[in-house]
Structure 1
Amino acid sequence: MARLQKVETNVHTKVSGEKFYDVFCNRTHLIANIFPEKIHSVEIHKGEWGTEGSIISWNYLHEGKTCECTEVVEGIERENNKVNFKVIEGDLLEHYKSFKFTLHVTPKEKGSIVHWVVQYEKQNDDIPDPYGMLQLVVEESQKIDAYLTKD
Structure 2
Amino acid sequence: MALSGASNYKAETVEAEVEIKSNSGKLFKLISNQHHDVPKASSDNVHDVAVHEGDWETSGSVKLWKYTLDGNVETLKEKVEIDEANKLVSLTALEGSHVLEKYKSCKIIFQVTPKSEGGLVKITLGYQRLNENDPPPHKYLRFLVNVIQDIDAHLLKE
What TM-score do you get using the length of structure 2 for normalisation? 0.91
Give the drift of 1:108: 0.4
Q: Which residue of 2 aligns with 1:87?
A: 93
Backbone CA RMSD of aligned residues: 1.2
Give the drift of 1:50: 2.3
1:55 counterpart = 2:62: yes
- Of the three residues 33, 44, 63, the one matched with 1:37 is 44
Question: What is the CA–CA distance in structure 1 between the aligned matches of 2:28 and 2:55, rounded to whole Å?
Answer: 16
1:27 touches 1:49 (CA, 8 Å); kept in 2?
Answer: yes
1:124 counterpart = 2:141: no
Q: What does 1:131-142 correspond to in 2, within 5 Å?
A: 131-142=138-149
1:29 match: secondary structure:
helix
Give the drift of 1:48: 1.3
Q: Which residue of 2 aligns with 1:77?
A: 83
Give the drift of 1:2: 4.2
What runs of 5+ residues in structure 2 fail to find an aligned partner? 1-7
Deviations 1:37-83 (A, max 9, x none): 1111011111111211100011110111110100011x321021111
Amino acid at match of 1:95: K
Identity %: 33
1:15 counterpart = 2:32: no
What runs of 5+ residues in structure 1 fail to find an aligned partner? none
